[in-house]
Amino acid sequence: MQLLLWAVTSVLITHTNLALSTDEHRAIKSELSEPIILQLKNGNRISGHAIETSEDQIQIATAEGAGEIIYTFQGEDIQTIAIPGESYKSLATEWIHTGRHEDALSLMSMLYAQRSPLLPFLPASESHFFTYYVDLVLDSPKPARAIAIIQTLRPQIENPDALRALEDSTLESYQTLELYDEAIPLAENWVASRKPFSESALGYYVLGAARLRSEAYEEALDLALRPIVFASPIPTDKLTECYAVAIAAALGLRERVYAATLYQEMQARGFVWPADDRSLQPTLKEITEYIKDHEDTPESP
């Protein structure tokens, strides 16, 4: 069995541009269904399947003759837990980086189903790893699942960088799902604690969009412009959305020439209008029509 699984893994890593086949999917799922091994602090080792878990207790069913025995252990009794399929975590990460997002989502779903009940007993790095899964789910046809995943991961994460990544995923989840009442306070805290020249402009976009919806155009413009003004040569996440919010705010202030300048600057930098935020789509129509109508007769501000 292990030789077959090794062969399947080797094929998957070698042919990174091929879609995950039904047989490969079945082989991965089979390996992930293998028993886990508990190394106890008293030196004993128990192999079996977790049938029930809580924050501080786990029940393991292990084969015994024609039947099975169920053991119950407290979290404090467990030294380590060995879980099959560790190599697939690296493969999922590789697929994310090479653009195989659909296959990465499928593989991550299997890994999460296998490991999520065990997260209270695993190192925090396991939960950190699944922040990748949150991002994949947000881009999937069912983004609402991201909220439940975040709620499972949050208590297990300790690393400051991992916490920041999860905060970003949480904020983006609420914004994507249009849960604005939950998104706004998170965005306010985000802006208060992050610099506008960091690797992400997420909080400025979310809070600027909120001010835009309440017709506080000057505040929306100020928020959206901060990361634009301070942007570094390194690509900044959500900078495109900040441009769109700034353009919408400028139009709300009737600063059409400035809005057109921002739109042309946005295009010159190679940014494409964000398609995921439905509230910004009317702005795209308005600014493109204005530019088309005023190509030869620039208006004074």
| Dihedral sign, Cα of residue 36, residue 54, residue 159, residue 80 | negative
Say if 137 falls within a structural domain: no
- Mean of the per-residue pLDDT values for the chain? 87
| Average pLDDT of span 210-218 | 97
Which has the closest alpha carbon to 145: 123, 113, 119, 182? Answer: 113
- Say whether pLDDT at 297 is over 60: no
Q: How many domains does the chain have?
A: 1
User: What is the pLDDT at residue 9?
Assistant: 43
Flag whether 182 is in a domain.
no
Tell whether 240 is covered by a domain.
yes
Residue 272 lies in a domain: yes
**Angle made by CA atoms 185, 189, 190, in degrees to the nearest 5:** 110
Model pLDDT for residues 192-213, shown as the tens digit of each residue: 988 877 788 999 999 999 999 9
For residue 161, pLDDT beyond 90: no
Residue 173 burial (CB count, 10 A): 24
- Please give the Cα distance from 74 to 7 (Å, whole number): 37
CB atoms near residue 241 (< 10 Å): 25
Q: How far is CA 266 from CA 162, 228, 257, 271, 273, in A?
A: 31, 10, 14, 6, 9
Band of pLDDT at residue 67, cut at 50, 70 and 90: confident
CATH of the domain at 264: 1.25.40.10
**Does residue 80 lie within any of the structural domains?**
no
Residue of 25 and 220 predicted with greater confidence: 220
- In this prediction, residue 227 carries a pLDDT of 92
- Provide the pLDDT confidence category of residue 21 given band limits of 50, 70 and 90: confident
Does residue 249 form part of some domain? yes
What's the half-sphere exposure (Cβ side, CA atoms, 13 Å) at 256?
A: 15
The answer to whether position 279 is within a domain reads yes
Under DSSP, is residue 225 helix (H, G, I), strand (E, B) or coil?
helix
Q: How many Cβ atoms sit within 10 Å of the Cβ of residue 77?
A: 14
Domain of residue 247 covers: 192-301
| pLDDT > 90 in the chain, percent | 63
Residue 43 clears pLDDT 70, i.e. is over it: yes
Q: What is the pLDDT of residue 1?
A: 41
Would 286 be classed as within a structural domain?
yes
> Residue 20's pLDDT is what?
72
Q: What confidence score (pLDDT) does residue 300 get?
A: 45
Q: How confident is the model at residue 8 (pLDDT cuts 50, 70, 90)?
A: very low
